[in-house]
Amino acid sequence: MFRQQVNELDWGHAMAQSRPSVQGVGRSLLSTLRMYVRRPSKLPQSTDLYQHRVTLLDGGELDLASLRGRPTLIVNTASKCGFTPQYEGLQRLHERFSDRGLQVLGSPSADFADQEYDDADEIGAFCQQNYGVSFPLTERTSVRADPSPLWSDLARQPNSGPPAWNFTKYLVDADGRLIKRWSTRTKPEDPEIVSAIQAALPG
């Protein structure tokens, strides 16, 4: 698993794309590397991911059961990463398919090299002002270091795994079952993702 994730990410490319602050870089990278050693146990069969509740960036709660009947693209995001412009593609997917039932859900996280703001207002302002993000975001969440219940379950699904870096993408079907996971370097509007979304949309 460790070798697969390192190959998937390409560390040289990822760090060239990153913009961490100079202070604390060594500590952040060491913490990130330690996460790759831990391997979550796999579930024998897929489970219902819509059984979870998450806290949103504005402090409200989203019961994922309310999304049942619609597919959801769940993505771990970060504001200070070289891949942060992928917010643009996620917003376009939201605008293109939300009327047909797609939900996009972002989870800001600092797990990878501490590339997220601490304050919820800062995160929200950054995403709205720079990328016009209008899809829901959770509160700042651990997605791998000490993953929330949702992110723990996403990683443990058959044919899945934990995020290898920011902007790992998970498409969940209308019944709450994982369809597929895509790596950071697969852009949101990649034809494979768009085709999978279209196939998952209700009638």
Catalytic residue positions?
81
Cα-based torsion angle of the residue sequence 160, 133, 109, 190 in order, rounded to the nearest 10 degrees: 30
Structure tokens at 129: 């002002």
Neighbours of 89 (CB within 10 A): 16
CA distance 93 to 104: 8
Backbone angles phi, psi at 104, to 5 degrees: -110, 135
* CA 55 – CA 10 distance, rounded (Å): 32
DSSP per-residue codes, 64-90: GGGGTTS-EEEEEE-SSSTTTTHHHHH
Write out the two tokens for 132.
């016009």
